[in-house]
Structure 1
Amino acid sequence: MKYFLFVCLTMFSVLGIAQENQNTNDLEKLSAIVVNAQTEELLESVHIINLNQVKGTITNQKGEFSITAAVNDTLYLSYLGFKTQKIRVTNDMFKFKNTKIALTELAYALEEVIVKPYQLTGYLEIDVKNLPINEGFQYSISGLSKSYEAGSKNPSAVTKVLGAILNPADLLRNLFGKKPREMRKLRMVKDEDEIRDLLASKFDRELLTELLQIEKVDIEDILNNCNYSSSFIKTANDLQILDAISSCYEDFKVLNRKR
């Protein structure tokens, strides 16, 4: 019986290694060119993200790029002033090296903008009092590497922050506990400068939802449960949001292990 179990375990191990090697061997270098759909102009500095492999690159002066990919991977293309696009990798894209990917320009209709003055008087002491104040106070918790924001400065705020970290269990488990690959992506993004550079310039949460396979409302729920202020959630760029989600989850795991 012991011998039979040993043989079974050995077979599963071999199959697992074979599957992993097969997945690795499926990866190839994909080369293509990105152009303007209207003018056929070559587009430089377009960001290309492989959502499956969490790899990023940008196009050169000739609109060319090369990225590691496998068949059925999804490429996410982003360029300022153009509509973001998702492309599924197919076999013919590897066979024909000059594949062209066309991006469509966005047409922006400018609406009337009303500038509301702060009614400054010219006296510094008075004008400072009239400026809007960010009420997102930060609190530090011993043992954690970062501070957390709370809505008001009162004795119960610290308890609220600690409770928010200890109690997003259901939400975080539902969102990430069933998606271990998405959690691995959070760590992988930290090592990809091209992806981080793109996230630092974006505020629309689109790439985040594609990378993590969650909805925008889920992102807001996570940060609310981790007690980030509404002003941070509304004004932070996508890289700050990603780092906040990652840090919150890592801190939650640390505290959860100590319980």
Structure 2
Amino acid sequence: MQKLFCLLVVVLFVQAGVAQNKSIDIKGTVTSTTEEVVGVYVLNKTSNKATITNLNGYFSIPAQEKDTIEFSAVQFTNKKIVITAAILQQNNWVVALEVALTELKEVVVKPFYLSGNIATDLNSLTLEPVVDGRSLGLPNQNVKTLSSDERALYSSMSGGPILSLINALNGQTKLLKKRVERNRRYQKTMRVKRYYADSLFVNELGIEKDKIDLFMWYCEFKDDFQVVINTKDQLKIWEYLRKRSMEFKTKKIGVQSN
């Protein structure tokens, strides 16, 4: 009887240990006060499993206590969080990300460089040209509606020399340029995706249908992707996607939708 009791105690301890080490799907939402939260890369660095957030910043990823989760995107500062028991108990884990701002060099204005005459001093400063549809490289610039980021960039640089100077010094223009460039890259990636039917990704590349967007996102952040797609050669682009698909399938990358 005593041996049976000891055996039961051992079994219970083993089961408890297994339960503690079992991964569960953590559901959460990435938030930001200024930036879009779609496409944030969520990586469990302990298990090497990953996913990306949807349009609302929602994500779901397997994890267990003491796992390290990393959140990364070009517009945000990378954030690493160690999973705790409290996080595992939450129905919706909210993760606030900080915008990645490039630190600007200190601007020192020396009095003997200035005359005191605003018009004269502004003429002596070198300002970047005003950004318009043509300088942004937009097709049909006379009729195309600019995106919200492009309009903001245009406003920051076309509000007169004084406002343009202020926005250049405080980093606002530089930040908007980065956002416009990021959106351009995303639009290019989606255009490449539309070159080919989903069935080609599934049947020829072996990419699951619900992972096609994630695969394109994976390619977008490769250094040579922009060079290849700028050729606009669909055969060359397809060969590139074929090679990258073999890399992609060896990685434990997944995506969930809300």
Q: TM-score with structure 2 length normalisation? A: 0.35
**TM-score normalized with structure 1 length:** 0.35
Structure of greater Rg: 2
**RCO (CA 8 Å, sep 6+): is it higher in 1 or 2?**
2
